[in-house]
Amino acid sequence: MRWPGRGAVSAVGEPDGSGPAGVRVPVTCERGGFAVVLSLDEAGLLDGLRLAAADWTAPPYADPETFREQEVTIGSGALAVPGTLSVPRGRGPWPGVVLLGGGGPFDRDATSGPNKPLKDLAWGLAGRGVAVVRFDKVTHAHAARVAALEGFTMTEEYVPHAVAAVRLLRDRPDVDAARVFVAGHSMGGKVAPRVAAAEPSVAGLVIMAGDAEPMHRAAVRVVRHLASVSGDPRAADLLETVTRQAALADSPELSPATAAADLPFGLWPGSYWLDLRGYDPVGTAAALERPMLILQGARDYQVTVEDDLARWRAGLEHRPDVTIRVYDADDHLFFPGAGPSTPADYARAQHVDPDVVEDVARWLAES
């Protein structure tokens, strides 16, 4: 048996649960999984059957008994967003960290198919003595409202809420106000130095697969890579389109009014790309007198050792308070594996590399 997009079924799990929600039977495939949900009538006869996405399960290194969680609100006014605070059990004060997700309208967990890499990280760190705040991006929580804003930028997408989250942690008696950090993944890592520049109380940064190559140029590189591994005859047309869009993002003709549809990814207007184009993450980081941990997966095709980490190294490797680590088996989401990484890998349920969680926790404890 095969399931479209997920490949052959490799295992069928034990039924779980009953009652109004029905009985869930987990099914594992070559590339991800799903659940068969059966509902029964009062006589115990089948009266419904549907397929659902596979549920996230806690990584082996996360013990929810070692920390507690509560809902929080980040920011104020119409663009306030919901978030989750995870605090270790026991006596503090604990170091704290604010997690920032990558580019796109992600929720607080950076949910991607069956995976929740920021939740993996939050639970792993909270069980290792770190208070963690993660929150829905404003582009996720208020998509329509943000789309109606004129002149929206990367700075507006990240910085106000990140600063508010830092201050929320600093105001808690169970958190060490002098040891509140920011950890960003992908675009969240790119923008982390700008957050620290805006909020002097940030004690240090963890930059995970933070892109440093100009994003419009990276878009062309990524599409070219995907075309080479997919063999899809339509890839050449897509590459031509993205190359044309990237040229506009790089040109003097780019203006705040340039439509998102004419630019790479089709997500952000010209104002966003002008902000991106004018921002130097490595130079901003170099001007900060704060410790940094920079992490990179060697199998990452989106943010790469050659194109992005090389820029962080060139600008920061001379600093004794900057630690750089590369994980040979890890992809962009810090999922360990083998062979060339592809988008299909993200459809398979995985967890953030336990070595990454341990290294981040240790660095936060020692910084």
**CA 236/CA 327 separation, integer angstroms:** 32
DSSP assignment of 302-363 equals: SS-IIIIIHHHHHHHTT-TTEEEEEETTB-TT--B--SS--GGGGGS-----HHHHHHHHHH
Contact yes or no for 103/187 (Cβ under 8 A)? yes
pLDDT of residue 228: 82
pLDDT of residue 234: 80
Residue 163 in tokens: 């600063």
Phi, psi angles (nearest 5°) of residue 16: -135, 120
pLDDT of residue 54: 62
No. of helices (H) and no. of strands (E), the chain = 11, 13
One of 109, 112, 142, 186 is an active-site residue; which one?
Answer: 186
One of 140, 142, 185, 332 is an active-site residue; which one?
Answer: 332
pLDDT of residue 236: 82
- Whole-model pTM? 0.86
pLDDT of residue 195: 98
Return the SS3 of 130.
coil
pLDDT of residue 39: 67
- Distance from chain centroid for Cα 65: 25
Reply yes or no: is the peptide bond before residue 93 cis, omega within 30 of 0: yes
One of 109, 211, 275, 300 is an active-site residue; which one?
Answer: 300
Q: For residue 225, indicate whether it is catalytic.
A: no
Residue 78 in tokens: 């119409």
pLDDT of residue 285: 98
Strands 292-297 and 322-327, how do they pair? parallel
Residue 360 in tokens: 């981040």
Q: What residue ranges in the chain does DSSP mark as E strands? A: 2-3, 7-12, 23-29, 32-40, 46-53, 67-74, 81-88, 94-100, 131-135, 175-185, 205-208, 292-297, 322-327
pLDDT of residue 20: 42
Return the SS3 of 40.
strand
Residue ranges and CATH numbers for the domains of the chain are 2-53 (no CATH), 64-215+275-366 (3.40.50.1820)
**CA 258/CA 265 separation, integer angstroms:** 14
Rounded to 5°, angle at Cα 78 from 76 and 83: 55
pLDDT of residue 149: 93
Q: For residue 186, indicate whether it is catalytic.
A: yes
Q: For residue 86, indicate whether it is catalytic.
A: no
Which residues of the chain register pLDDT less than 50? Answer: 2, 4-5, 18-21
Q: Per residue in 157-182, is it b (16+ CB within 10 Å) or e — as a string?
A: bbbbbbbbbbebbbebeebbbebbbb
